[in-house]
Amino acid sequence: MELPDLFLTYLSVEKGLAKNTIDSYAADLKRFGLFLKDRAGGMGAATTADIVDFMETLRNSGYSVPSICRYVSSVKAFFRFLLIENRIQVDPTEGIQTPRKWERLPKALAVSEVMAMLNAGLEGKTALRDGAMLELLYSSGLRVSELVGIRLGDIHFDAGFIRVVGKGSKERVVPVHQRALEKARKYIEEERPGILKKRQSPYLFVTSRGGAMTRQRFWQTLKAIGKKAGVELSPHTLRHCFATHLLEGGADLRSVQKMLGHSDISTTQVYTKVTTDRIRKVFKKHHPRA
């Protein structure tokens, strides 16, 4: 068995990580393996210089700092595993610092932009599914991995909430507004059976192959919706909108933290800077003394 496969098996069996997380590690290591394909010894013989070169290649290819940090984190975890398993004698990632994560304000659309996009009718054979996912994402501020992992039994129509399994397999309950519930119900009753074509699936949002919707496929769908609406759209954009619009509406930070599933409130506090920045822009634009 190849070293990356051993590592991924370890993450699945020993660590019990979710499939989406393991898939992310697999994709990162595949990218690293392709970078090393012309270098002697393969991944097990990679040096510190190789890893630094890999980081530099990612930077020159236009990858963002957070993306490079994610790649480096995956590579570090891989080599720590090899060291523990006595597959290598020295960890080449020891002492390597990830690029500094510059604090960036999350990009959030205006309420009017989101409302216009949600009210625009979608077309195609999966219009009800895509519309329900879009509405639920903004309604509850879910991560895309949480959205595609929702099972039929996780959504409670009468009580108006959804059970979510987030990072670290932590569960939380998130409220869902009536419009999102109605769209989800309509999709389940009118479109989901036709997509499955007599197949069975425990997942709420499914594809024509009978499996759960993937993050990549939904990302493509959102990108197309955003292009049509004239805005840059991603799953995380709607999560930012959810948090920012709640705070602008007067929600307290602790409540937003719980709904987002942040373990540390400092992660949530960045959204207060978004609202402050927006207020400052309004003041400068409209106040006669500004």
Give the Cα separation of 120 and 136 in Å (integer): 15
Residue whose token pair is 């949600």: 118
> Which residue among 143, 215, 240, 245 is the active-site one?
143
Give me the half-sphere count of Cα atoms (radius 13 Å) on the Cβ side of residue 288: 0
> Which residue among 107, 236, 258, 278 is the active-site one?
236
236 belongs to the catalytic site: yes
Give the Cα separation of 80 and 76 in Å (integer): 6
Q: What is the DSSP letter of 173?
A: E
Q: How many CB atoms lie within 10 A of CB 110?
A: 13
Q: Which amino acid, one-letter code, is at 11?
A: L
Give the Cα separation of 43 and 77 in Å (integer): 13
Q: How many residues does the chain have?
A: 290
Q: Which residues of 212-247 are buried (b: 16+ CB within 10 A; e: fewer)?
A: bbebeebeebbeebbeebebebebebbbbbbbbbbb
Number of helices (H) and strands (E), helices first, in the chain? Answer: 13, 3
> Which residue among 107, 258, 262, 278 is the active-site one?
262
Whether residue 174 contacts residue 161, with contact meaning beta carbons closer than 8 Å, is answered with yes
Query: What is the phi/psi pair of residue 206, to 5°?
Result: -125, 165
The C-alpha torsion from 180 through 154 and 203 to 21, rounded to 10°, is 100
Q: How far is CA 79 from CA 31, 51, 94, 115, in A?
A: 15, 11, 9, 46
Strand (E) or helix (H) holding 118: helix 111-119
> Which residue among 129, 239, 240, 245 is the active-site one?
239
> Which residue among 167, 223, 273, 280 is the active-site one?
167
Whether residue 126 contacts residue 195, with contact meaning beta carbons closer than 8 Å, is answered with yes
262 belongs to the catalytic site: yes
Q: Which residues are catalytic?
A: 143, 167, 236, 239, 262, 271
